[in-house]
Structures are given as C-alpha cells and as structure tokens.
Amino acid sequence: MAHRQPDIVLLVLDTRRADRFACLGYPTQTSPNLDAFARECTRFNWAIAPAQWSIPAHASLFTGEYPSVHGMFQTTSVLSEALPTLAERLRDGGYFTAAFCNNPLVGVVNNGLRRGFQSFLNYVGLITTHPNQASAQSSLLDKYRQWFKRKFAEFVSGVQGAVANSERLTELSFTPLFFPIWQAALSLKGNSARSLNDAARLLIRREGLSPRQPIFCFINLMDTHMPYHAPRRLVERFAPQFLCDRELQRYLRRFNSDAFGWLAPLEDEIAPAHKALLDGMYDAQAAWQDEMVGAFFDKLRASGALDRALFIITADHGEHLGERALVGHTISLYNELIHVPLLVRDPQGEFAPGACVDRFVSSRRLFHTALAAAGLASPAERTLSLANAGANDPEHGEAFSEAILPLNVQHMLMRRKPELARRRGADQRRIAVCSGRYKLIQTGADRFELYDLARDPGEMENLCDALPAQVEALRERLRAFALHQSGRQATEQAVTSDDPLVLNRLRDLGYLE
C-alpha cells in the first residue's frame, strides 16, 4: 500500500521564547490554547535554534543546515541554489506548497527563502501581496488588483533591498524620527488573524487541489516581535501598571519607536520597573497570539483537517527583555534567544501524544522530520528525523548555534557606541554547543562561558574556572564541528554578495579562505 502523505503544517511563532509557556514551567497563563495543544504533541523541552535572528534561523529550518553551511548571515545574503529548500523538495514530491508569512525578512526581501512555494501570501504592508502567485482566470478588475499588488510588492522589496544594502539608509531607518513612519506604512508585524484564516481556508476547503494532493503550509506569526501594541484588555491583565503610570507610558513610546535600541546593548542594567513592563507587554502579545492560534486550531479540529496533518510548532528564535543589559535578538547566544519551543503533533503515531524529549535537539532537524513524514527523505535524512531523537539519536543529544551580527548593524553600532560595542563583542563571531547538561559559548577566539543548564537554565553562573576539563571537552566538540562544516562549505556554500566589506569580514571570521 502506498504511503499516504500527510499535510504538513509548520507554524513559526516568530520571536517566541520557550520559557514563556506554562507547559514548560512559566507561572503566568499566557498560552492556554498552545498548552492544551501541547498535551496532544511530543514536546521537545530543549530545542535549540541554529541562529539568533530570522534570516539564518529560517534558512536552517528550510534547508536542514547550520548557518556556516548555508551562509545566510547577512541582510544581503541570498540562499545558494546548491541547497534545495524544504518547499522545493515537497513540491517536487507532489505537495501543494503555500506560505502565509508576516515576517518581511522572509516574505518581502528577495533572498531565496520563498523558493519552492507555489503560493506565497505576504501580509507585511498595507495590503496582502502574492510574490510567487501564478495568475488564475479572473476578471479584468481582479487582474488589475493583482498587477497593483505585484507592483507594490516590487516597490517594497526594492526599498527594503536598498536599505539592507546601504549602511546609511539602514541607520536612517532605525532613527526615532524615521522608524515610526516606516512601521506605519509597512505594518511590519503583518496580520496574524488574516493569515491564520487564509491558511485554515486552504487546509479545510482545498480549493483547486486534486482529492489526495497533500499540502505543505508554512505560517509565520510576528505578534511577540517588538514593537508592543497588545489590546487594552490584555494589557490590563498582564501589565496593569502601564495604564496608570505616565513615566512607563513615555518609556514604552520611546522603546517602540527606537529600533536602534532593539539592536544595541544597554549602557546599564535595565530599571526593574522597565523590565517588569517589557515582561508584561511581551506576555500580553503572547496571550493575544494564543487566542488567534486557538481559534485556528478550533477551525481545523471541527473540519477534520487537524488530523490530516503533521503539525509542527516552533520559533525561529527568542527575545531578550532586559536580561544581561540586552534587548532584542542581535548579539547573544543565551537561552533567551536560542532555546525555542518545539511541539510535534502526528496523527500517524511516530510522535506520541504527551511524550517529552529532554535531550538537546537542533530545530534545523525539522527539515528532515517533514521529509521523513512525507516519505521523501533519503536514508541519511530519515535518521535525522526528530522521531529518532530518543536513546538512538544519531546526534547524541547535541546541538549547535552560530551568530554573526549583520555587518550593517555592526558598523552602525561601532559608529554610534564603539566602546560599548567592543566591550560586548558586537564585532565577534559567536558559537555555542549544547551537550549532555552543559552549554559552552565561545565569543571570538578566546572568550568562553560554560553553564550547567540542568542546574542553572538562566545561565547565571559561568563555570569555566570551576570545570576546566568540561570546557576543554566542549571546545573539542566546537573544533570538530567547525572542521565538519568547513569541509561542506567548499561544495555547498556560495557567497552571493560582492561587497568587499562582507567578503573581508567573512574571511576574518574564518568562513572564507
């Protein structure tokens, strides 16, 4: 009997921290719908993102490779044609591939991450655009609307491309004067409710598809990404102090409009009142997202579509909310950024409901997991499916993460706050390995931090001096990883930028000879 290919839904909760779910121990009830859904899933308690920001993290989800192989470290990076994407593989295997995307770095910038999607709906901007959409039979008015949307998308992409390639324009776009205009004009966080409704319609109605054709549905939601504008009723619940404190209201207005402040380390530790406000506003955004996702689940369950799909929920990365004098997701590899939620619901039974995996796993393996479920994985790829993440895990409970601050952001930080940027290593490559119960972070050539995550998940106590043998063992794992990756770069990684600054910096960081 032929393998019945399930629908595959990859739901990326952009910028969603793992430690903000009750099912993972968070005491505040921000996610009742996702927590209830988790009881039907296999839960991976220690999923590690391969990178700390959207472009390299999504490139890893879509290729199954770490950033040092796919090379997507920069805002100007373009994914090499040598690396087929998950959407391309599934499309070629008979799937209808559709994306419902709220992240401009995935859905607007033309960097190769849209490759393989037969339908791509981008919700960033004043109108929903269809960058990949094939034209269907329609009225003259519909064709005009699609033409207008396509031209608008090309204009937005051109503007964003110009900003990404120009340090001066990047810097201007992050000023408090310019950013609110940019944000209002482009609606940078998209529209989660509309995208979830459109995705549900496809999965339930399956219009235009043959009766047995499976669907690959990628959804990106940006609700917990800065800036914070949750409904008042949720602010009243999670950050009530904001409504009666004018100083906090002024602080949040400045915070929401100062995109440079999301990139730069803080000069000093964050004030406790400001930290509490950011926590509460983030929780309010998470609760709002949970309501919309819960409604999405209800529609799929009522129609029977939920049980036709392998359902994967994860995040591309997390967010700093003032910890260690950091906000945003630029320069660290601490757990606030790379420890991500990961839930897999599988009606076919390979992922048991209610099961928990406590070993480290890399979320890049979702590529292999989806291909294996579709019956399209090679034998080597099949072994890396997260269905094999138990005692016989081929990666032995080990995961890596890599970070290079994009060069345009590096240069902006070095111009505006050179002393702070150097002190915090903004110009240094970072790499982390999680293995056993320990995590080692290397910054530059000789700065190391060792944490016992079983005892200290908040990474408060650096054990480098206390456990030198453990440091050396994990340094050896980093050396072996770098050697393995460099052996694959020669055939798989293509540097697509001709900017000499980009080439020189990658050479300095050891990614080019």
pLDDT on residue 441: 98
CA 294 to chain centre: 20
Q: How many CB atoms lie within 10 A of CB 350?
A: 16
Pick the range with the lowest mean pLDDT from 205-214, 439-448, 496-505: 496-505
User: What is the value of pTM for the model shown?
Assistant: 0.87
- Write the burial class of residue 445 (CB in 10 Å: 0-12 exposed, 13-18 middle, 19+ buried): exposed
pLDDT on residue 340: 98
Q: Using CA atoms in the order 418, 423, 427, 428, what is the torsion angle rounded to 10 degrees?
A: 170
The percentage of the chain sitting over the pLDDT mark of 90, rounded to a whole number, equals: 68
Give residue limits of the domains in the chain: 7-399
pLDDT on residue 63: 97
Mind listing the pLDDT tens digit for each residue in 61-102? 999 999 999 999 988 889 999 999 999 999 999 999 999 999
Is the distance from CB of 367 to CB of 351 less than 8 angstroms? no
Mind listing the pLDDT tens digit for each residue in 412-421? 888 889 999 8
Q: Say yes or no to pLDDT of 498 above 50.
A: no
Higher pLDDT, 130 or 29: 29
Q: How many CB atoms lie within 10 A of CB 4?
A: 10
Strands in 78-223 per DSSP E:
96-101, 119-122, 215-221
pLDDT on residue 478: 95
**Which band of pLDDT confidence, cut at 50, 70 and 90, is reported for residue 128?**
low
Average pLDDT of the segment spanning 174-199:
70
3-state SS class at 430: strand
Average pLDDT of the segment spanning 318-332:
94
Mind listing the pLDDT tens digit for each residue in 438-489? 999 999 999 999 999 999 999 999 999 999 999 999 999 999 999 888 777 6
CATH number of 7-399: 3.40.720.10
The pairing of beta strand 7-13 with beta strand 309-314: parallel
State the Cα–Cα distance between residues 437 and 359, nearest whole angstrom.
Answer: 9
pLDDT on residue 86: 98
pLDDT on residue 269: 95
Pick the range with the lowest mean pLDDT from 48-57, 128-137, 321-330: 128-137
**Which band of pLDDT confidence, cut at 50, 70 and 90, is reported for residue 270?**
very high
Whole-number mean pLDDT of the chain?
A: 86
State the Cα–Cα distance between residues 466 and 446, nearest whole angstrom.
Answer: 17
Average pLDDT of the segment spanning 335-349:
95
pLDDT on residue 96: 98
What Cα–Cα distance (Å) separates residue 386 from each residue in 59, 87, 279, 495?
Answer: 18, 19, 32, 30
The percentage of the chain sitting over the pLDDT mark of 70, rounded to a whole number, equals: 82
pLDDT on residue 105: 87
- Tokens for 193? 């409710």
| Helix residue spans in 166-257 (DSSP H) | 167-173, 179-186, 192-205, 232-238, 246-257
At residue 387, what is the residue type? A
Let me know the angle formed at the C-alpha of 24 by 273 and 332, rounded to the nearest 5 degrees.
60
State the Cα–Cα distance between residues 37 and 306, nearest whole angstrom.
Answer: 11
Q: Which of 397, 401, 311, 317 is nearest to 358 (CA)?
A: 397
**Which residue is listed with tokens 């945003």?**
328
